[in-house]
Amino acid sequence: MVSPLHLIIAEAGLELVPREIEGEPSIIAYAKRRRKKPSEILLDISVHYKAMKKLDKWFKRGRPDIVHVAMLLALSSLLNLANLLRLYVHTVKDIVIFVDPKTRIPRNYNRFVGLMEQLLVIGSVPPSSSKPLLWVESLTLHQLIEKIKCTTPILMHEKGALLKPSDFSKYVVEKMLKSEVVCIVVGGFQHGDFEESTLKLFKNRVSLHPTSLEAWSVISMIINSIESSEDISRIIWGNL
């Protein structure tokens, strides 16, 4: 039996406004316009840049748009439609969003922001559902990998072993066909590197291009190359 690919968007810049800047004028004004409490709105560097500069590692935070594009891309893929993909979002605050493969993320960014705010405040979407499409747990990346029971953890890193997407997908598909649990981790932040605690988790680090790429480009290359492999392609088209 073929195991699904487990894709983790890690250290993602997706979080509610931290307590230490809730009282900043720009935060209060924005929250009033949204008719929400400051603690119930997403941190967004395009809106809260000045206030964010008071935060630790602010340059890695406040980018929910990265998660939005990545989730749209992954969940609309043929790999996901064939039930061969599991998606997780691990945030910079060690909150993990679990995603049901049937989830359809809003294409409109403002609606996505509202959905994420509801999720992070309440804990699940739909609220109080016995089978939510999205739900959160407080987990470190290490704890998430252990929870998934990952046998082949791979970190996508610009300083990793340089492989062609076709060669990388061949390696991954071979593992999937052997029912191994493959976890591919892609950074969900805009600048800087993974935390040292994250880097220590991975001996297997891979790069798909000599230069640094956007998270969604890496995810697209991974998914497309896996979908194009003969064995996975046969499964996908057999399921459609």
Which tens digit of pLDDT belongs to each residue from 29-86?
Answer: 999 999 999 999 999 999 999 999 999 999 999 999 999 999 999 999 999 999 999 9
50 and 97 in a single domain? The answer is no
Question: The pTM is what?
Answer: 0.95
Pairing state of beta strands 134-138 and 95-99? antiparallel
Does one domain contain both 56 and 154?
no
Q: Are 198 and 92 in contact (CB under 8 A)?
A: no
Task: Domain of residue 42: give its range.
Answer: 19-60
Place of tokens 């000045």: 50
Q: What is the pLDDT of residue 240?
A: 55
Residue list, annotated binding site for S-adenosyl-L-methionine? 187, 192, 208-213
pLDDT by residue (tens digit) across 98-142?
999 999 999 999 999 999 999 999 999 999 888 999 999 999 999
Name the helix (H) or strand (E) containing 125: strand 124-125
Q: Indicate if 9 and 48 belong to the same structural domain.
A: no
Residues 148-173 as b or e (16 or more Cβ within 10 Å = b): bebebbbbbbbeeeeeebeebbbebb
| Same-domain pairing of 26 and 80 | no
Please report the pLDDT score of residue 238 as a whole number: 78
Whole-number pLDDT of residue 1:
85
**What total number of domains does the chain contain?**
2
- Same-domain check for residues 99 and 139: yes
- Feature table: binding site: 187, 192, 208-213
pLDDT, tens digit, for every residue of 148-204? 999 999 999 999 999 999 999 999 999 999 999 999 999 999 988 999 999 999 999
Give the SS3 label for residue 10: strand
CA atoms within 13 A on the CB side of 47: 21
Residues 184 and 158 in one domain: yes
Q: Among 128, 112, 131, 23, which residue's Cα sits nearest to residue 67? A: 112
